[in-house]
Amino acid sequence: MSMPRLKPARAVVLFVVYTVVVAVGGGLAAGIMAFVFDAVASEPYDPMVYAITFGVTGFIAYRLAQRVAEG
């Protein structure tokens, strides 16, 4: 079963929406995690943890947005 082809305008709109969803979803998760970790921990932290959190949460938000957009 093949997927229907996207029109260029819809593809651009979806790209922008998905990009915003990834940035906001990942940014919120990484920011909240940094805030909580900074409030609780007394030792320095590795910024790589927040990068991974941003990426994973952003990807999850993207997949959810994709499911909603596809119906």
Per-residue pLDDT tens over the stretch 16-37: 999 999 999 999 998 898 888 8
User: What pTM, to 2 d.p., does this model score?
Assistant: 0.75
Q: Which residues of 36-45 are buried (b: 16+ CB within 10 A; e: fewer)?
A: eeeeeeeeee
pLDDT, residue 20, reads 93
Determine the 3-state secondary structure of 2 from DSSP. coil
Other CB atoms within 10 Å distance of the CB of residue 24: 12
Domain ranges of the chain: 17-70
Which residue intervals of 1-71 are DSSP H helices? Answer: 8-40, 47-70
